[in-house]
Structure 1
Amino acid sequence: MNRYVERLVRMVPPPARLSAPPDWPAVERSLDSALPGDYKDLVDRYGPGKFDDFLALLAPGHPVARLDLARGVAEAAEVLRAYASSGEALPAPVDGLTAVALTDNGDTVYWVRDPGDAPDRWRIAVNGARDFDEWHLFDGCLAHFLVDVLNREAVVTAFPDDFPYPGAAPTFTSHDYPK
């Protein structure tokens, strides 16, 4: 297991899984892309849900339709194409950005898929819903990003000042349903 996933599990104990973890080979075939190992570990350990009732990972088969991985990736790609066609600067080409998480405020967390054939080396970029042209880049994997944000070691200006909740241990709220 990725060392940052291990740290996150110590910080924010995952709930008991009610549904089976995704069939990762089938998910990757449907997306026509390999996925980072830390992401698969996160989804396997936590299932669908939100960190501090604000930041939700897109997950295969998520019970909330807009948080389903395939649907979220497709919808975010449409938004990115619109940004690019209007002249907005993106941190990578549209096909080099893939949505992986959303916030309740409409902010989107993306993988920067470079190098494309090495998903465990992908970095993170965050685009705020209110400041479309502002991007926060994080030089690390998704689990590293979550650890640093939830520890307040990394500040994402697009996120509200009260995320994560100041002075409180981070939480995870499951949206998992038995299958």
Structure 2
Amino acid sequence: MERLNVSLERLKTILPVPEKIYGSGDISQWKEAEKELGSKFPADYKEFISTYGTGGVCGFLWIYSPFSDNENLNFFIRSKEENDAYIISKQKFPDDFPHSLFPVEGGLLPWGVTDNGDVLNWITSNNPEEWSVLVYDGGTGESYEYKNSFSEFIFDILNGNINCNLFPDDLLDIEIEYVVGDAD
């Protein structure tokens, strides 16, 4: 658990926390969300959403929140839609879409999307603190797996330690900021 908190603290050094946040949830809302999911969320994801709220990194990498009023950023609405699309793609092109879906052990669970339509997933296991990240192009099935936690992945993208071939080369040429979603 300490490793995850260090990652979020490190993330805060390069991704400023917005002054106002939306869709961050409280303890009882997190319990309800985890009941609906049927699993705990990774601690660093919960801390990230509690700290940053609903929104996107650099206006490109959008992170779903269980508490978002925006259906385009709501974790439960979007993960169902992404999973439904994945099932259709898997039926048509099984070699290009080889993964199972959560709650199957090792199944994908979407937690975000890019402006390019790349889907950001956890590769799940029995222990949410061990979930890794898989980014796939929803159109082609091209995918990249990272053994990072949620917050480590975002940190490594922003500091240039990860260069995902699906992301634009100039992603870090703009100001690193968290764009708040669900704003009034």
**TM-score, normalization: structure 2?**
0.86
Question: In the comparison of the two structures, how many residue pairs are matched?
Answer: 173
Give the 3 Å change call, closer, same or farther, for CA 60–13 of structure 1 in structure 2. same
Give the 3 Å change call, closer, same or farther, for CA 20–69 of structure 1 in structure 2. closer
- Aligned residue number for residue 15 of structure 1: 18
CA distance in 2, matches of 1:174, 1:121: 28
- Aligned residue number for residue 112 of structure 1: 123
Q: Counterpart of 2:41 in 1: which secondary structure?
A: coil
Query: Superposed, which structure 2 residues align to 1:56-135 within 5 Å?
Result: 56-86=62-92, 87-90=94-97, 92-95=99-102, 96-113=107-124, 115=125, 117-130=126-139, 132-135=140-143
CA distance in 2, matches of 1:58, 1:93: 20
Q: How much does 1:42 deviate?
A: 0.6
Equivalent AA in structure 2 for residue 139 of structure 1 = K
Segments of 5+ residues of structure 2 without an aligned counterpart are: none
CA distance in 2, matches of 1:28, 1:173: 25
Q: How much does 1:21 deviate?
A: 3.0
Q: How much does 1:91 deviate?
A: 5.5
Segments of 5+ residues of structure 1 without an aligned counterpart are: none
Q: How much does 1:169 deviate?
A: 4.6
Q: Counterpart of 2:88 in 1: which secondary structure?
A: helix
Q: How much does 1:84 deviate?
A: 1.8
Give the 3 Å change call, closer, same or farther, for CA 20–90 of structure 1 in structure 2. closer
- Aligned residue number for residue 139 of structure 1: 147
Instruction: Spell out structure 1 runs of 4+ moving beyond 4 A.
Output: none
CA distance in 2, matches of 1:37, 1:103: 22
Q: What is the aligned counterpart of 1:153 among 161, 169, 180?
A: 161
